[in-house]
Structure formats: C-alpha cells, structure tokens
Amino acid sequence: MNFERIPGQQEIKAKLIRSVKEERVSHAQLFAGPEGCGSMALALAYARYISCENRTDHDSCGTCKSCVKYEKLIHPDLHFVFPVIKGKKVTDPVSDNYLEEWREFVRKSPYFNFNNWMDSIEVGNAQGMIFASEASEIIKKLSLKTFESDFKIMIIWLPEKMHQATANKLLKMIEEPPEKTLFLLVSEEPDKVIPTILSRCQLVKIPSFTGMAIEKYLLNRFNITAGKAADLSRVSNGNITRAIELIENEDYSVANLERFKSLMRFAWKRDIISLINWSEEIASTGREAQKNFITFALRLLRENLMLSLGQLKNRLVYLAGDEADFSGKFHPSVNQTNIYPLNEELNLVYSHIESNGNAKIIFLDLALKVTRLIR
C-alpha cells in the first residue's frame, strides 16, 4: 500500500510525507479516526514511505527491495500487533500465531473493521483482544537491531482492545523506545485507549472520507454504474469499509436486517413465543456476530429517527435498498420519546455480551423491553 492508492485524504498524506522529509518523525504516533477512514491504509503507506530506499517527494518508489517486501507485508523490520482469540490449541495467543492469516487479509484490502477480521478467522463464541502475552513478544522483537531498514516499525491495530497488563508493560518502551524504533497505533476509539499510552503518542487525527473519494474508489475497483457508486458513497457517510461491505457482503447485511425486522415485528405484536425463539436463534451465533448485530441495530434506529424528524430532505438519512424500503414503513415507530431508552438498552446488551454474559437471557431481556418501548 502506498499513498497514491489511497483515495482522498490529501492533507493527511502531505503532513505525513512532510514529517519524513523534514526528519520530524515522532517515535510514537496514534492514527485516530472513525471506522472506515483509511487509518490502517495510511499507517501502512507511511511505514512504507519511511522505509523506502528511493522515496520521491510524493510517495514510495514501489520498486526497491523494501517496497517489494512491504507490498507482501513480509519486511523483517515491519511488525504487527492486532486482536486475536484464544483457541483450543493456543491458550496464550499472540499476533504471530495469526500472522499468515493477517497478511492475506490485509493484502486483500486495507479497508476493514474489527468484525471483518474476526469473521475471517472464524472466532465462533470467542472475543478478540490483544492479550497480556503479547507484551513479551513486542519487547523481544523491538530489542533486536534492524535487519534492513533504518527503523523498526511496530503497527498496533486497535490499541483500545489491549489487555491492561499488556498496556502497562508497554508504557516504558513507548516512552523510551529502543533506538530507531517507531510505534504506529491505529485506533477507531481513542477515548478507550488507556490515558497513559495516549499521553505518550503524537495524535494524528484522520477525518472520514469525502463522498467523492469513496465514489471514485468504488468506480475504479468494482464493476458498478456511476449511479450506484454515487448512492453507495452517500449511504456510507464517509465510511469506505461500509461502502465495500454493501457491495461484497450483501448477505451479511441482509441477515442483520432480517433479525432486526423480526425483533420489531414480534415486539409490536407482543408475540412472546416468537420473541423467545428469536432470542435463542441469535444467542446461537458467536459473540462477535451478536455485537455486530447490536451495532447494526443502533445505526438503523438512528436513521429511522432522522426519517421521523423529516431529515430526508436535508440529506441526513443514509439508507438505501432493502433498509430504505423497510424504514419507509417502520420509522414512525421511532421517535424522540423512545430513541434514548432503546439506545440505552442496546448499548447495555453490547456491554453484557462483551462481559461474557448469558446470551439467551440478555437477548430475551432486550426483546421484552423493546416490546414495551416500540409501541
């Protein structure tokens, strides 16, 4: 990944390139931006530019041995840390246990989210995080001298998923890193990164993509019409990952929409037996799938509230296809009276699922409360 292949974000690209040319590269930087803003792509392009042997004024050369290895994500001085899961064979997992899967996943597209990664490694009922065992691996890797480049670069994706013990062990290394060592932390929720690490990093704020940048990217990558690309870019609201998902993973979105429609239909009818069956069905899916559904439901409720408030004419509603068709009839059920308790209940479910609560009880409780709130 180089800067040229990232749509838009010209101001951020120029800032990163300028820091290298002026030799003002901070040893610890936090790339912070909302999901789908291209923060991982920018971190990869930045690391590649720093390590490039024949960099130009605007980008890495793409042909030197460093760039060739970066393209395959196999450069010996490039290291990754990312959330993983515990399995039967690996009780103390570290990122290296999933390195091959990670390389294949990132090479496919640098625009992804946590749920995409969890789905790719088939987590089942496990939850992904950066476990305490990772700290020793990081310290061991970064204590070695560089192999080929001037810098060792450690990219930590989603430091907000880092175990407290890992974060505590890394504090001193981030504050006083070994010579020629760079930390690039890529976060979607910087407010959840522990403050002591946050305070030791230079913040690089990354905005969402513009609609024009997403539209151009979709037209270049996918065989779709200009009209569809324009619709998707608007609906994605600056989130390039969502735009890609709407094209590539229609089945996944359809499944979440059907679950949402069933919940609301049974709740409106006060069909308790069907609500019990619904809660058991969603409880049988993995925890990451359950959290993904909650995230989907929160977004759909927001869009339906905007419809109820008459914001369609102001282009503040980001719906298309089946979601738009369903919401056209459903939105009167969402209003300023019930939106706050509905959001509160959904966020509570997300928190309980993360805490490994009993999914059947959690979702049945949600279903019964929705029955009271939706009418």
- Residue 38: what pLDDT? 94
Helix axes 287-308, 321-330, angle to 10 degrees: 60
Q: What is the rounded distance in angstroms from the CA atom of residue 196 to the CA atom of residue 79?
A: 22
Nearest CA to 366 out of 287, 280, 286, 246 is that of 280
Whether pLDDT at 88 is above 60:
no
Q: What is the rounded distance in angstroms from the CA atom of residue 314 to the CA atom of residue 316?
A: 5
* Average pLDDT score, the chain: 90
Sheet of 202-205: strand order equals 78-81, 152-157, 181-187, 28-32, 202-205
- Residue 89: what pLDDT? 62
Q: For the residues 316-320, what does the mean pLDDT come to?
A: 76
Count of alpha carbons within 13 angstroms of residue 103, beta-carbon side: 13
pLDDT, tens digit, 9 for 90 and up, residues 156-169:
999 999 988 888 88
More confident residue, 166 or 294: 294
pLDDT more than 70, % of the chain? 97
Q: What is the rounded distance in angstroms from the CA atom of residue 279 to the CA atom of residue 264?
A: 12
Whether pLDDT at 268 is above 90:
yes
Nearest CA to 106 out of 127, 82, 125, 135 is that of 82
